[in-house]
Structure 1
Amino acid sequence: MKRSQFLKSAGAASLLIPAATLLSFKAENDPQLDKALVQEFVGKSHNDPDRVKELLAEHPNLINAAHDWKFGDFETGLGAASHVGNKALVQYFLDHGAQANIFTAALFGRLDIIKPMLEFSPSILNARGPHGFTLLHHAKKGGDAALETHDYLMSKGLTETKFVIY
């Protein structure tokens, strides 16, 4: 074998060995939260704040965990509490590191957040939250504090409170 052929072969092999090593570490070997635990946490976030707080105290990483109800209908505890209008639980989640989103901003009537987001990407107006609930739904759940947000969303053409997602 010529020296140039050897160097080409060695160079190619040196690229393949690290790639093969990386591929051998599969995600299924990585520790994950128990799916039943995540489902309980998200489910209870609709109506059982005491149990949610117990679960979060025992498993802090649940704070941003999402459950797939079906067909990609992902929901977090924050998403559940937001679409049912439980502002106290939503605030609890935010205080414990939950990732805020535009639906939560609509619940709290935060036009200072919603307007720039819609200017940045107008199609967000038709975003679908958990179970297909819209920004308008969340603003309605926000009550008087979100009335201006509700009216603003309507003025932009949003009339649906829920889209069929399955």
Structure 2
Amino acid sequence: MNRKQFMRTGIVTALFPAMTLRAGTQMGTDEKLDPLLVKEFVGKAHTDIDRVKVLLANHPTLLNAAHDWKRGDFETALGAASHVGNKEIVNFLIASGAQTNIFTACLFGQLEVVKSLIQLFPDTLHALGPHGFTLLHHAERGGDENQELVKYLKGLGLTRTKVTLY
């Protein structure tokens, strides 16, 4: 076995138990989520990492659940943490297996990821996240280190950080 094969085997071996555990906590359950529990989880994901951890430990299927605030304004915990710029909670949710998206990429200033998605799907530039927050909003919430991404988005014509949904 050469070094390259050894490294691949080691990585797969190291990841397999974690992958199995994660899959086991999210699959094979018939649990119906209480809408009030989803609302609490999404609401707490804006600011309260300790409560998010407890809720997710007790109800793993909350991870990608969305709350409908009204009229189709859907928000997941990841969406909540992303639009307020709470990187600690975002990182925790992603590490737990949350479905990432372009809004989260904007929060973290992932210029090449955002460029690639917009080149592939140009109308994504005008996508709206929870509560009508735009890609520009998420990029600005990421902080000063996101200036290159902010400049790119503005160069494409984005000026608004929020669009009224209703």
What's the Cα RMSD here? Answer: 1.0
Residue type at the aligned position of 2:39: Q
Task: For residue 109 of structure 1, give the secondary structure of its aligned residue in structure 2.
Answer: coil
Task: For residue 63 of structure 2, give the secondary structure of its aligned residue in structure 1.
Answer: helix
Alignment of 1:37-116 (within 5 A): 37-116=37-116
| TM-aligned CA distance change 1:147 to 1:42, over 3 Å | same
Q: How far apart in 2 are the matches of 1:88 and 1:43? A: 15
Residue type at the aligned position of 2:98: A
2:16 matched residue in structure 1: none
Q: How far apart in 1 are the matches of 2:32 and 2:113? A: 33
Give 5+ residue unaligned stretches, structure 2.
1-29
Q: Segments of 4+ in structure 1 off by > 2 A?
A: none
Task: For residue 70 of structure 2, give the secondary structure of its aligned residue in structure 1.
Answer: coil
Alignment of 1:162 with 2:162, yes or no, is: yes
In the TM superposition, residue 44 of structure 1 has moved relative to its aligned partner by 0.6
| 98-107 or 142-151, larger mean C-alpha shift | 142-151
Percent pairwise identity:
61
Which structure has the larger Rg over C-alpha atoms?
1
Give 5+ residue unaligned stretches, structure 1.
1-29
Task: For residue 64 of structure 1, give the secondary structure of its aligned residue in structure 2.
Answer: coil
Residue type at the aligned position of 1:132: G
User: How far does the alpha carbon of each residue in 1:71-92 deviate from its partner, in whole angstroms, 9 at most, with x for none?
Assistant: 0000000000000000111010
Q: How far apart in 2 are the matches of 1:53 and 1:145? A: 28
| Number of aligned positions between the proteins | 137
In the TM superposition, residue 145 of structure 1 has moved relative to its aligned partner by 2.3
User: How far does the alpha carbon of each residue in 1:29-66 deviate from its partner, in whole angstroms, 9 at most, with x for none?
Assistant: x7521101000000111121111111011111111000
Q: How far apart in 2 are the matches of 1:97 and 1:131? A: 23
2:125 matched residue in structure 1: 125
Give the TM-score normalised by structure 2: 0.80
Q: How far apart in 1 are the matches of 2:120 and 2:42? A: 30
